[in-house]
Chain A
Amino acid sequence: MATGPTTGTDGRPAAPTGTARRRLAMGALLVLAVGWSITGLEVTVDRLLGAPGDAWDIFRRMFPPAFAEAAERGVVGKVFESVHIAWIGTLIGALASLPLAFLAAGNVAPAWVRVPVRQLFNVIRAVPELILAMILIPITGLGPWAGALAIGVHSIGTLGKWATEAIEGIDEGPLEAVAATGGRWASSMRWGVLPQILPVVTSQWLFRFEINVRASAVLGMIGAGGVGSELVSQLVFRNFPAVGAVLLMTIVVVLAIDTVSAAVRRRIIRGAGRAPGDVVGGDRNAAVLVDLTGIGR
């Protein structure tokens, strides 16, 4: 329609046309969506106004946290049990997903293998750990092994997807070099691909471990081992100081693991001798997005 920038009377370029209308449409859509959603949530005015107070009340009653009581009940051991579950689960996921990722990558696997393996990853990712644990508990019995297996199986989905993306992003040169020496498919994977992806994949495993620590804490809530069971039982008794202690212990352990794991990941990806946080701009955002989503750049 318009050709070239139209100039207003005061010499300023005119605001682009249509933006206001589009904004209005978007705004109306959002308001409609929220309005429709709120109708389903049993919201009443006094509930809405009372909720922050109720939440604050519970939060306040958690102080001071009853550490002695919690320690007596073995909460410390339970928190570490969650960490053990996450570790074993991550290892199961890692060991199962790595070979599968080679079969799912577009540059090293034929389409008839690739498509089903990718769909397998998608299906696995769609089933939450909690549901997997429910299915596994009848076989393994209540306890940490059900949780570890559930986490392991679920991790195959994400780890496989991330590793596939790592393989698809490699430099093809080494592959050609192996092919030129007459290597078979397995050798080209071992010598052409694996050394390139290993640092990235290891850091993906560590990142998944961080996620899994949280997931395994949650799994305890349905009896699959770890700290979740303590939280639930203390909440049932409305023993809020003990709840506070359980929460604080979980937070401390989770934060400690996050910090250590992030440092190790940084060391693996960037190597020694550089100050942390020195990657600027777009790289860093892309890294975070890939970290959290596995969506790729």
Chain B
Amino acid sequence: MNGPTVAARPTRPRPGARTWVIVGVLITYTVFAGRQVGFDISTFWNVWSNPLWEKFWPVPWDWVLDWHNVLDPLLETFQIAVVATLVGCGLALPLAFIMSPLTSPNRPTMIVSRSVMNVVRAVPDLFWAKLLVTAVGIGAFAGSWALSVFSLAVMVKLFSETVDGADPRPLEAARATGGRHLPVIRTGVLPTVLPEYVAYGLYVFELNIRASVVLGLVGAGGIGRVIEAQRQYFRFDRVLGILLLVFVVVIVIEQVSVAVRKRLV
């Protein structure tokens, strides 16, 4: 081959055998899982003929905006979220320091606390709620317990990563002065991670507001209790009204929280 130098087009890389095996396994599993869950494409157009849709409209705003019906339980949702955020984040602060290799008092404590927190996080939030409702009785009290556990799990995960990544040099300096463990952490690490701690705390608060909406479905108090009751009466118009109200409130809180977080970090 001579003449004008037309560079040969590079051959296109072909996927290797391993790729095909992985793709094959994934497709097989998808088909299998699809059959197991009863995948039914007709649902996608049957959705529009759902007899429930007409029950969603019109929204009875005077019922929804009533203090006793909705606003009071909504306030309860907030109270659950506030308490749970503070308890969860409060406990998370020492735990995160115990769990991080940088600041842990000793290795066994670190490993044990890490494993415990992994297990706690593996239990879905509403499972916690259901268990605690069984333990301490129906109501907001159980809900705030459950949400505290959930906040603790999320917060520890987020914040211990921050502690892991903290600058070790102030810590070394504090250790070099002969400080004991707690004062060393207090002066060497805490100031550098505190802004992120507060930012994550706000984020956990947002999560809690969202989560406490569904807590009531398992009897753990808050606005979910009202949603569940109205659903059982098939008053989906009221459910929609509550959802819209909650949506607005969540959006407002999120905007404020995001703005504060941006300033903090």
Q: In the bound complex, how far is the Cα of B214 from the Cα of A221, in angstroms?
A: 12
One of A2-10, A140-148, A181-189 contacting the partner: A140-148
The answer, yes or no, to whether A255 is at the interface (CB within 8 Å) is yes
B69 at the interface (CB under 8 A from A): no
B131→A235 contact, CB < 8 A: yes
Question: B39 to A148, Cβ gap below 8 A?
Answer: yes
B37–A81 touching, CB < 8 Å: yes
B161's partner among A88, A122, A139, A288 (CB-CB below 8 A) is A288
Chain A window 268-288, contacts with chain B (Cβ cutoff 8 Å), 1 for yes, 0 for no: 000000000000111011001
Return chain B residues, CB-CB under 8 Å to A215. 124
Interface string of A74-94 (1 = CB under 8 A from B): 000000110111011001000
Segment of B8-16, B73-81, B104-112 in the binding face:
B73-81
Taking CB atoms, residues of chain B closer than 8 Å to A149 are: 43
Interface-central residue, B39, B51, B78, B246, by most chain A CB under 10 Å: B39
Cβ A41 vs Cβ B83 within 8 A:
yes
Give, as a whole number of angstroms, the nearest-CB distance from A254 to chain B: 4
Contact B122 A250 (CB under 8 A): yes
A84 with B164: CB separation less than 8 A: no
- Is the Cβ of A285 less than 8 Å from the Cβ of B162? yes
- CB within 8 A of B141: which of A41, A58, A87, A231? A41
Q: Is A1 an interface residue (CB 8 A)?
A: no
B173 cross-chain contacts in A, Cβ below 8 A? none
C-alpha gap A255/B52 in the complex (Å):
38
B52 x A88 contact (CB < 8 A) = no
B217, A126: Cβ atoms closer than 8 Å: no
Residues of B within 8 A of A123 (CB): 247
* A255 in contact with B33 (CB, 8 Å): no
Instruction: Please give, as numbers and ranges, the residues of chain B lying within 8 Å of A238 by CB-CB distance.
Output: 134
**Residue total for A at the interface (Cβ-Cβ under 8 A):** 74
Query: Is B231 an interface position by the 8 A CB rule?
Result: yes
Report the bound CA distance from A243 to B39 in whole Å.
29
Complex Cα distance, B35 from A148, in Å, reads 12
Smallest beta-carbon distance A120→chain B, Å = 13
Nearest A residue (CB) for B126: A218
Evaluate contact between B140 and A55: CB separation under 8 angstroms.
Answer: no
CB within 8 Å for A148 and B37 given contacts A34-B82, A135-B52: yes
Q: Do A88 and B251 touch (CB < 8 A)?
A: no
Inter-chain contact B214/A130, CB cutoff 8 Å: yes
**B174 is an interface residue with CB less than 8 A from chain A:** no
B residues within 8 A CB of A281? 165
Number of B interface residues, CB 8 Å? 68
- CB-based nearest A residue for B51: A138
**Judging by beta carbons under 8 Å apart, are B136 and A54 in contact?**
yes
A126 touches B246 (CB 8 A): yes
Closest Cβ–Cβ distance, residue B254 to chain A (whole Å): 9
User: Measured between alpha carbons, how far is A217 from B122 in the docked complex, in Å?
Assistant: 11
- A68 an interface residue at 8 Å Cβ cutoff? no
A57 near B135: Cβ-Cβ < 8 Å: yes
Which of B75, B161, B239 lies in contact with A40, CB distance below 8 A?
A: B75
Q: Which residues of A contact B52 (CB under 8 A)?
A: 135, 138-139
Bound CA span A222–B38, Å? 18
Q: Is the Cβ of B251 less than 8 Å from the Cβ of A282?
A: no
Contacts of B40 in A (CB 8 A): 140, 145
Residue of A38, A80, A127 near B83 (CB, 8 A) is A38
Residues of A contacting B80 with CB < 8 Å? 37, 41
- Closest CB in chain B relative to A277 CB, distance in Å: 9
Closest to B140 in A: A41
B227 CB contacts on chain A under 8 angstroms: 131
Chain B min CB distance to A154 (Å): 12
A231–B165 CB distance below 8 A: no
Contacts of B210 in A (CB 8 A): 126, 128
The answer to whether the Cβ of B2 comes within 8 Å of any Cβ in the partner chain is no
Further pairs besides A84-B36, A214-B125, A228-B127: 8, Cβ < 8 Å:
A37-B78, A81-B36, A81-B37, A135-B50, A235-B131, A235-B134, A254-B124, A281-B165
7 interchain residue pairs of minimum CB distance: A37-B79, A84-B33, A144-B37, A40-B79, A214-B124, A37-B82, A254-B122
Q: List 28 A-B contacts (CB under 8 A).
A: A33-B82, A37-B83, A41-B83, A41-B141, A43-B141, A47-B136, A47-B141, A51-B141, A51-B145, A81-B36, A84-B32, A84-B33, A127-B247, A128-B214, A139-B43, A139-B46, A148-B39, A218-B125, A218-B126, A218-B127, A221-B217, A222-B217, A228-B126, A235-B131, A255-B118, A258-B122, A285-B162, A292-B158
| A residues lining the B interface (CB < 8 Å) | 30, 33-34, 36-43, 47, 50-51, 54-55, 57-58, 80-81, 83-85, 87-88, 91, 122-123, 126-128, 130-131, 134-136, 138-140, 143-145, 147-149, 214-215, 217-218, 221-222, 225, 228, 231-232, 235, 238, 243, 247, 250-251, 254-255, 258, 280-282, 284-285, 288-289, 292-293, 295
